[in-house]
């Protein structure tokens, strides 16, 4: 079973924590006294001073025990398209309806007023006969985000519930029934019907929104008459809020513990800025919660020493980083930091600023689920906007300095990471250049090999041509000899026949030698053409590579060398022309 901590941290106290809520006895006494005397009381104070905690853990238990009131806390929430339920409907929903046959006998058709809900509950519930109702409207400024007609309807019906024993519409129904049937109700029923229910109303509102209450004066003219202002803690109250929970008996997550006097003095000095400021419970609760969890529970020590509070500012900074660290997704965590560190603080003046919900979702990539998670951490809080919806801000001025320090650390880490990435990119580029140089060298080596092969083929062709010439000369010589022999054949037919045969053989040999010489010459020419074509293609590819890298002058040089080898290549001539035009423009 989960055990409570002695300090709730940034979260408001709830009613179950009333036994560890200290330092506000004077305020609770004053509010109890006001409620015992007045029907309508307004609690106001700066945002973040602990109005909700004062109500939940201080006033409500007292009101139920001492004033015999049944408390019901109502939160309207800001008006949005997704929250169309009116303030009146939300108020009625907090009152558990109970059927009342007596009231229903004079109930006008379609009647569903706040008075009807309270009166039905009074008539049907025996416990309510000896008790009253306490409606507590926390964060009452949310009311004024709703359409004006909804605000007026709420105020009208709240006024009726506070100050009307029986509304005229019910009186008219009762009169009509009694005229028709004089014994319609017994004397006891009439007495119960005319016995007013006891209703008290407490409204909690931010001090900077107090002027909005004037909009309700037409229905609640005394709304500004009974006020109680919640101020920051003085040193004595703060000391009680620090020490008393540590001593409190009970089954807590930590054993009881104590603070050394120097540690307590250091804590109070930090919270009051050297005794120059009053103390806000937000800081106090964060620091004490940290000490309970980190020193008492984790380290098992039951005395808080001065060393544990050597630098309270670091505790606040760690609180911020710990809450951010609870966000599991890396992208969400970075988005949350950008929102808080860049969007919700005006760094030049080191102060909080507010953003509308649309800005938060649109400009900082915050998903609705992540926004709810941030609200649950109490790093940020929502405030109702008078235009409807919510604005969001850092939950307390205390967090500004720790958040800015964390931002500076993040930016330095990002700078180092960017420098590392830039270095990696540079090394990658250098590696690519080295590889490119090696490829160029390989291409040059390949070209040299092709040139050598072409020169060797050319030499072979020259040798073949020389041999063919020699064979041709030899054949011609033999032919002349054969012709001489033909002449001699006139002298001798036998010798002529023999010489004729020899001449034919020599002629055949001459044709073969000529054919071989032509084939050798053609083979040499083909090899030379292949080398020229391959060299031209190599030069074109090199030119294309230079062109893609915007080295147009080198590309032109390669294309011209290629054109010297293949002057009839029209595509190559177009590339040369295009490169020249680019260089002329530069």
Three-class DSSP category at 274: coil
Q: How far apart are CA 394 and CA 377, in angstroms?
A: 11
User: In the chain, which residues fall in CATH 3.40.50.300?
Assistant: 24-232
Three-class DSSP category at 78: coil
| Residue 344 predicted with pLDDT over 60 | yes
Residues 310 and 270 sit within 8 Å (Cβ to Cβ): no
Q: Which residues, other chains included, contact 234 with Cβ-Cβ below 8 Å and sequence gap of 6+?
A: 278, 279
Q: Tell the burial category of 497 from Cβ atoms under 10 Å away from its Cβ (0-12, 13-18, 19+).
A: exposed
List the beta bridge partners of residue 45. Answer: 206, 230
Q: How far apart are CA 75 and CA 301, in angstroms?
A: 41
Could you read off the pLDDT of 207-263 as tens digits, one per residue?
A: 999 999 999 999 999 999 999 999 999 999 999 999 999 999 999 999 999 999 999
> Considering the domain 24-232 in this protein, what is its CATH number?
3.40.50.300
- The token pair at 94 is 């907090």
Which has more pLDDT, 47 or 270? Answer: 270
Kindly report the backbone phi and psi dihedral angles of residue 153, in degrees, each rounded to the nearest multiple of 5, phi listed first. Answer: -65, -40
For 267, 322, 329, the CA distances from 317, given in Å and listed in that order, are: 16, 9, 21
Mean pLDDT, the chain, whole residue set: 89
Closest CA to 497 of 483, 481, 505, 486: 486
Q: How far apart are CA 299 and CA 292, in angstroms?
A: 10
DSSP codes joined into one string, 77-104 = ---BTTB---HHHHHHHTS-----HHHH
pLDDT confidence of residue 510? 75
Q: How far apart are CA 275 and CA 268, in angstroms?
A: 8
Element spanning 202, H or E: strand 199-206
Q: Which residues, other chains included, contact 360 with Cβ-Cβ below 8 Å and sequence gap of 6+?
A: 339, 343, 366, 371, 392
Q: What sign does the CA torsion over 368, 372, 377, 382 have?
A: positive
Which has more pLDDT, 27 or 483? Answer: 27
Other residues' Cβ atoms within 10 Å of the Cβ of residue 90? 17
**Measured in whole angstroms, how far is the alpha carbon of residue 142 from the centre of its chain?**
26
Order of strands across the sheet that contains 199-206? 69-74, 132-137, 199-206, 40-45, 227-230
Residue in the structure block whose two tokens are 């030499």:
459
Kindly report the backbone phi and psi dihedral angles of residue 383, in degrees, each rounded to the nearest multiple of 5, phi listed first. Answer: -130, 135
Q: What is the DSSP code (8-state) at residue 83?
A: B
pLDDT confidence of residue 339? 94
Q: Which residues, other chains included, contact 449 with Cβ-Cβ below 8 Å and sequence gap of 6+?
A: none
Could you read off the pLDDT of 500-559 as tens digits, one per residue?
A: 777 688 778 778 878 876 887 788 788 888 888 888 889 889 989 988 898 888 888 888
- The token pair at 440 is 């160029």
Closest CA to 284 of 270, 296, 294: 270
Q: What sign does the CA torsion over 181, 182, 183, 188 have?
A: positive
- The token pair at 462 is 């020259």
| Residue 152 predicted with pLDDT over 90 | yes
User: With pLDDT > 90 as the criterion, what percentage of the chain qualifies?
Assistant: 51
Three-class DSSP category at 208: helix
| Residue 13 predicted with pLDDT over 60 | yes
State the average pLDDT over residues 99-111.
87
Order of strands across the sheet that contains 380-384? 355-356, 390-394, 380-384
Q: Which residues, other chains included, contact 131 with Cβ-Cβ below 8 Å and sequence gap of 6+?
A: 68, 69, 70, 198
| Residue 72 predicted with pLDDT over 80 | yes
State the average pLDDT over residues 445-468.
84
Other residues' Cβ atoms within 10 Å of the Cβ of residue 504? 11
| pLDDT band for position 497 (cuts 50, 70, 90) | low
| Residue 1 predicted with pLDDT over 70 | no
| Residue 383 predicted with pLDDT over 90 | no
Q: Which residues, other chains included, contact 123 with Cβ-Cβ below 8 Å and sequence gap of 6+?
A: 100, 102, 103, 192, 193
Q: What sign does the CA torsion over 276, 279, 283, 285 have?
A: positive
- The token pair at 550 is 């915007």
- pTM, entire model: 0.68
- The token pair at 407 is 């931002």
pLDDT confidence of residue 197? 93
Q: How far apart are CA 330 and CA 365, in angstroms?
A: 13
For 135, 411, 419, 425, 462, the CA distances from 414, given in Å and listed in that order, are: 52, 5, 8, 16, 71
Q: Which residues, other chains included, contact 547 with Cβ-Cβ below 8 Å and sequence gap of 6+?
A: 555, 575, 579
pLDDT confidence of residue 496? 57
Q: How far apart are CA 356 and CA 471, in angstroms?
A: 102
Element spanning 380, H or E: strand 380-384
Q: Which residues, other chains included, contact 27 with Cβ-Cβ below 8 Å and sequence gap of 6+?
A: 54, 58, 228, 230
Q: What is the DSSP code (8-state) at residue 80?
A: B
């Amino acid at each position: 079973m989960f055990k409570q901590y002695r300090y709730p941290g940034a979260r408001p106290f709830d009613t179950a924590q009333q036994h560890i809520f200290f330092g506000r006895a004077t305020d609770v006494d004053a509010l109890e006294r006001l409620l015992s005397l007045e029907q309508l009381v307004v609690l106001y104070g700066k945002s973040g001073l602990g109005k909700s905690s004062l109500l939940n853990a201080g006033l409500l238990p007292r009101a139920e025990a001492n004033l015999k009131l049944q408390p019901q806390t109502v939160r309207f929430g800001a008006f949005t398209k997704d929250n169309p339920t009116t303030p009146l409907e939300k108020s009625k929903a907090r009152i558990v309806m109970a059927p009342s046959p007596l009231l229903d006998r004079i109930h006008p058709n379609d009647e569903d007023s706040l008075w009807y809900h309270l009166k039905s509950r009074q008539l049907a519930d025996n416990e309510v006969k000896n008790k009253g109702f306490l409606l507590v409207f926390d964060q009452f400024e949310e009311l004024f985000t709703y359409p004006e007609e909804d605000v007026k309807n709420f105020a009208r019906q709240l006024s009726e519930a506070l100050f009307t024993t029986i509304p005229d519409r019910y009186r008219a129904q009762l009169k009509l029934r009694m005229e028709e049937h004089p014994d319609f109700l017994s004397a006891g029923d009439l007495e119960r019907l005319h016995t007013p229910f006891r209703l008290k109303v407490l409204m909690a509102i931010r001090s900077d929104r107090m002027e909005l209450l004037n909009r309700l004066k037409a229905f609640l003219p005394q709304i500004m008459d009974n006020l109680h202002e919640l101020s920051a803690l003085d040193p004595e109250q703060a000391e009680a809020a620090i020490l008393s929970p540590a001593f409190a008996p009970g089954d807590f997550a930590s054993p009881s513990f104590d603070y050394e006097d120097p540690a307590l003095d250091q804590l109070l000095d930090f919270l009051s800025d050297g005794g120059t400021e009053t103390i806000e419970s937000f800081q106090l609760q964060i620091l004490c919660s940290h000490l309970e969890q980190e020193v008492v529970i984790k380290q098992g020590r039951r005395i808080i020493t001065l060393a544990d509070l050597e630098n309270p500012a670091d505790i606040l900074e760690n609180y911020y980083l710990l809450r951010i660290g609870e966000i599991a997704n890396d992208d969400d965590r970075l988005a949350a930091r950008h929102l808080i560190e860049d969007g919700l603080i005006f760094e030049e003046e080191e102060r909080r600023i507010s953003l509308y919900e649309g800005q938060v979702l649109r400009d900082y990539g915050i998903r609705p689920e992540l926004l709810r998670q941030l609200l649950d951490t109490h790093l940020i809080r929502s405030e109702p906007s008078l235009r409807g919806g919510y604005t969001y801000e850092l939950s307390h001025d205390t967090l500004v300095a720790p958040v800015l320090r964390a931002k500076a650390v993040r930016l330095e880490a990002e700078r180092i990471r960017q420098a590392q990435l830039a270095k990696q990119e540079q090394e990658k580029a250098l590696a690519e250049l080295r590889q490119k140089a090696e490829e160029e060298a390989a291409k040059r080596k390949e070209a040299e090999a092709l040139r050598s092969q072409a020169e060797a083929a050319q030499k072979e062709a020259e040798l073949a041509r020389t041999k063919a010439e020699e064979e041709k000369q030899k054949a011609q010589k033999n032919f002349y000899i054969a012709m001489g022999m033909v002449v001699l054949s006139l002298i001798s037919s036998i010798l002529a026949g023999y010489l004729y045969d020899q001449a034919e053989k020599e002629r055949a040999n001459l044709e073969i030698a000529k054919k071989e010489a032509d084939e050798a010459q053609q083979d040499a020419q083909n090899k030379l053409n292949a080398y020229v074509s391959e060299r031209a293609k190599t030069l074109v590819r090199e030119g294309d590579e230079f062109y893609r890298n915007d080295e147009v002058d080198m590309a032109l040089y390669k294309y011209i060398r290629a054109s010297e080898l293949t002057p009839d290549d029209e595509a190559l001539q177009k590339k040369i022309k295009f490169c020249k035009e680019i260089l002329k423009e530069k």
